[in-house]
Chain A
Amino acid sequence: MEITELGIAEVVSKIKSKELKAKEVVESYLKNIDKLDKDIQAFLSVSSDYAVKKAEEIDESDNKVGKLLGVPIAIKDNISVKDFELTAGSKILKGYIAPYDATVTEKIKNEGAIIIGKTNLDEFAMGSSTENSAFFKTKNPVNLEYVPGGSSGGSAASVRAKEALVALGSDTGGSVRQPASFCGVVGLKPTYGRVSRYGLVAFGSSLDVIGPIGRSVADVARLLSVISGFDPHDSTTANVPTGNFEEYLTGDIKGKRIGVIKEIRDFSIQEEISDAFSSALKVFENNGVEIVEISLPHLKYALSVYYLIAPSEASANLARYDGIRYGFEGSGENLRDFYEDSRTKGFGKEVKRRILIGTFALSEGYYDEYYLKASKVRRLIFEEFKKAFDDCDAILTPTTPTTAFKFGAKATPLEMYLSDVFTIPVNLAYLPAVSVPFGYDKTGLPIGLQVIGKWFSEGELLNFAYVLEEESNV
């Protein structure tokens, strides 16, 4: 069996037992990067020397401990890794070297993970195809003519192409789940507050969550166990027990209730995805699960709400990129011109669009009508989910209305935004959700299904995904 076929548990145990060298593992993945990434372009930077050196250290050490010992991991380039460039896919941060580790980076390093490179993304995580990267477009490894999804397109593509064993992405409105779905891998968006955001380049601070991407539910569960937990550096993390999420993967979901959203019929969904959705429900039924219908009347406003709240927060979060202290520096006769030039040239089109939307939504005279109203509807959506979870343990939806699309296929921003219609409500309600591959369409593109769980129920949620994964592997 190829080394790159192994899951985290096997790799770690083989390295611990010296059956396998960490260096061999790292080199197998680097070999794949060498071979494939000139076409896929998942990585913005590959840290080969660093990775090999770290692997050698592990091999030389007698103290072989760590839940991710020797695991080559790809990190979305909006997560801070000390001494690595941190671009967030933007020209405005090109050349900026992060002086500190994000909390998740510190945690995976402490468990022996080896950072193999930083992956491509839509600029500041704003996009659903990775086409908005200021540097280049990442291709879907399943079919190079198609987008890998986004914004964590690089991370999802790298895992799918076996250029990394697992990856970290970030999810503000679907940015882990949608590319996971497009690339046919597992992607988890944890509950807001489950994983520290310290060191994640902020986009929509009340929505952003760092999440794991892997080729199996078990790998994702392992990575989540490592990165989750209260962080004194992030006041929005929750002080709830974490534990070992792999222990939940029993395959036993008998007696549980799965919710199906009544209003989902109002959305147009690709036929093969609808079929996959139906057969997944059958799988659940066969496993002793009760299917219940739930209602989320305000679901149809989720996209509008999201496109007010996320840009509003982003407009403030991106104000720091002014060319004064770091990153791209424009020029100008006076301060105002300097700011204008730095930001005009430093930011891409989509980022500027969202800064403008957000600035407008927060402006005097518009705040109540836009930002405030959106916040109120967000609250309603949250309450509706809360009520729905009285009747079910998890909710099943397609991850996306369609499978991956071709480059340039989404001509207008609105068409692009629609690809996140099922993932966005989850962020608005701070919920956890996982996208799990469940078959292919007739073009051979992966289909992903989304399981949404109650707050802080990632263990149970991953067990539902595990059942679907087992079934689709058969």
Chain B
Amino acid sequence: MYKPTIGLEIHIQLSTKSKMFCSCSTEFGDPPNTHVCPVCLGLPGALPVINKEAVKYGIKLAHALNLNINLASTFYRKNYFYPDLPKGYQITQYSLPLGFEGFLEIPMEGKVKKIRIERGHIEEDSGKSIHIGDITESEYSFIDFNRSGVPLMEIVTYPDFESGDEAYEFLTLLRSIVRYLGVSSGDMEKGALRCDVNVSVSKDENRGTKVEIKNLNSFRSVKRAIDFEVERQVKALENGERIVRETRHFDEKEGTTKPMRVKEELNDYRYFPEPDLPPLVLSKDYVDELKKEIPELPHKKAIRYIETYGLQEDYARTIAYNKKYADYFENIVSAVSHPKEVANFFLVNILGILNKIGLDIEDLSFGVDSFKELFSYLDSGQISTNIAKSVIEESVETKKSVKEIIESKGLIQVTDENYLREVIIKVINNNPTPVSQYLSGKKQVFGFLVGQAMKELKGKGKPELVNKILNEELSKLEGGNV
């Protein structure tokens, strides 16, 4: 049996207002080369100055990932030539990164999967090359330096993943964390979160040959690329082939990985300490202070929802990983309890309608008061859960109050046993054939008869009572009174 070993390298754009080493705006999507200055264009004589806000964001993220923080970290120059790298080197961290040796625990399938994190360091982004058509055939290229110098935090994990699913879950959680912290938008489509993958497979304790995969534009691509690559490597090894150490490119259309067409040269980055920047010295008090600002993080929330509210794992995760959902959910539950029902109503009915009508949770008027009203009807048995669902959906869509909908539509359920018995006897009399089928042992007809009764009651009969009385009346018949 081949065992896959997978590691991730993730670049996260820190959402500071200005760039890592100059005061240019980091705004995304503006016309090319409008947020540039001598520093981020690498003009002669320009010097970098560390953006303290970016450092703060980096420390927060490091805390969230349980990384140890270097109180004196250093910047290095990573040398390589590329047209969108204006200085011919990237300022990054190397031997003393901001954060080192941390971990993240992902709730997965009733267990917790621990992924160790090797390091988290801050650095600057490059500009963006825009090629006309394919890079190998493009006659000319454009460069947009708006992105040049945007702060990044690079997270390098240990190769602790065993499947595409685990990587997918890790990235989903990481994105959620950066959003909770407010340190990044985490939007992969805007390049605010980028991920490269290292994959190897092996039968024994020895690590197999590592293959790097690039061009991963969504979490789904990461998962697909890993799954494909693991299978490819296993097949190759089974066929007696050798795995080549290389960088492969994920082809989204085909769902396959291919060797890069542009041969990567063996790079010697010639790292050396950045002489323009003194070490980044942080006080322990400052670092500790920032730790206090870290809110309850999504994976911890999810586990709490499972353990104390009894939510099912996927519900717990869906709510906890979205801060707006979690805030909403916790607000409601603290007022009306019923966490499981609230979770169910929220995920199925409320989000369903919001999606359908294209509204955001921020536009939602169905809040604590609505839930209070709803549960007063539910708890007293005046409406059924099914009625409640339709009431919620209507209220979310029309913004009418729960009470208004229930009253105007007369949705209070019938609980008068005498009246219910009257209706049920009528149904029995009107359906001799199904009744005799039931009596002769075809018990599934029971449902049909309930349905008929509910139809008579316009759906408002209290289901438990309808069931009970129908059962009683049918038992009488079984006694042989026909």
| B49 lies within 8 A of A232 (CB) | yes
A235 touches B270 (CB 8 A): no
Cβ-closest chain A residue relative to B42: A320
Question: Which of A235, A335, A359, A371 counts the most chain B CB atoms within 10 A?
Answer: A235
Q: Are A235's CB and B86's CB within 8 A?
A: no
Contact of A198 among B46, B275, B277 (CB under 8 A): B46
The interface bits of chain B over 185-215 (1 if a CB of A lies within 8 angstroms of the residue's CB, else 0) are: 0000000000000000000000000000000
Per-residue B-contact encoding for A266-295, CB less than 8 Å = 1, 0 else:
000000000000000000000000000000
Complexed CA–CA distance, A204 and B276 (Å): 10
Neighbouring B residues of A322 by C-beta, 8 Å: 81, 83, 88
Which residues in A have their C-beta under 8 angstroms from that of B182? none
A324 B83 Cβ-Cβ under 8 A: yes
Interface string of B104-116 (1 = CB under 8 A from A): 0000000000000
Interface of A is mostly: loop
Q: Confirm or deny: A80 has a beta carbon within 8 angstroms of a beta carbon on chain B.
A: yes
Shortest CB distance B120–A (Å)? 22
Chain B residues near A381 (CB, 8 Å)?
Answer: none
B38 on interface, CB distance cutoff 8 Å? yes
Q: How many chain B residues have a CB neighbour from A under 8 Å?
A: 28
Contact B276 A316 (CB under 8 A): no
Closest to B266 in A: A364
Contact of B41 among A200, A205, A325 (CB under 8 A): A325
Give bound CA distance, A80 to B45, whole Å. Answer: 7
Assess the B88–A316 pair: CB atoms within 8 A.
yes
Given contacts A322-B81, A324-B83, A325-B86, contact A316 B47 (CB under 8 A): no
Measured between beta carbons, the chain A residues less than 8 angstroms from B81 are 319, 322, 339
Q: Are A364 and B46 in contact (CB under 8 A)?
A: no
Asked whether B49 lies within 8 Å of A316 as measured between CB atoms, the reply is no
**How far is B44's CA from A133's CA once the two chains are assembled, in angstroms?**
18
**Nearest residue in A to B49 (C-beta to C-beta)?**
A235
Q: How large is the interface on A (under 10, 10 to 19, 20 to 34, 35 or more residues)?
A: 35 or more
- From residue 255 to 280 of chain B, which have CB atoms closer than 8 A to chain A? 268, 270-272, 275-278
Name the one of A200, A319, A367 contacting B45, with C-beta atoms under 8 angstroms: A200
If A198-B47, A312-B272, A367-B272 touch, does A236 touch B83 (CB 8 Å cutoff)? no
Judge if B463 is at the interface, Cβ distance under 8 Å.
Answer: no
Contacts of A364 in B (CB 8 A): 268, 270
Q: Which residues of A contact B49 (CB under 8 A)?
A: 232-235
CB A56 to nearest CB in B, in angstroms, measures 29
Q: Which residue of A lies closest to B45 (CB)?
A: A199
Interface contact A233-B47, CB-CB below 8 Å: yes
Residues of B within 8 Å of A367, CB to CB, are 270, 272
A80 to B47 alpha-carbon distance, docked (Å): 13
- Chain B nearest Cβ from A316, distance in angstroms: 5
Q: Which residues of chain A from 200 to 250 have a CB within 8 Å of any chain B CB?
A: 200-202, 204-206, 232-236
Question: Is B48 among interface residues, defined by CB-CB distance under 8 A?
Answer: yes
Least CB distance from B53 to A in Å reads 15
Fill in one digit per residue for A139-175: 1 if any B CB lies within 8 Å of its CB, else 0: 0000000000000000000000000000000000000
Across-interface contacts of B271 in A (CB, < 8 A): 362
A86 at the interface (CB under 8 A from B): yes
A80 to B276, CA, bound (A): 18
From A88, A236, A316, A363, contact of B77 by CB (8 A): A316
A206 CB contacts on chain B under 8 angstroms: 275
Known: A88-B44, A197-B47, A201-B45. A235 touches B83 (CB 8 A): no
Q: Are A316 and B272 in contact (CB under 8 A)?
A: yes
CB 8 Å contact bits of A182-209 with B (1 = contact, 0 = none):
0000000000000001111110111000
Name the A residues within 8 Å of B175 (CB-CB).
none
Q: A99 CB to closest chain B CB, in angstroms?
A: 7
Please, how many angstroms separate the alpha-carbon atoms of A319 and B48 in the complex? 16
Counting chain B CB atoms within 10 Å of each CB, which of A86, A88, A199, A359 scores highest? A199
Bound form: Cα–Cα A371–B77 in Å: 14
> Nearest chain-B residue to A79 (Cβ)?
B45
Docked complex Cα distance between A362 and B88 (Å): 15
- A301: chain B residues at CB < 8 Å are none
Chain B proximity of A21: nearest CB distance (Å): 33
User: Is B50 at the interface (CB under 8 A from chain A)?
Assistant: yes
A76 CB to nearest B CB, Å: 12
Instruction: Name A residues whose Cβ lies closer than 8 Å to a Cβ of B.
Output: 79-80, 86, 88, 93, 96, 98-100, 102, 197-202, 204-206, 232-236, 312-313, 315-316, 318-320, 322, 324-326, 335, 339, 359, 362-364, 367, 371
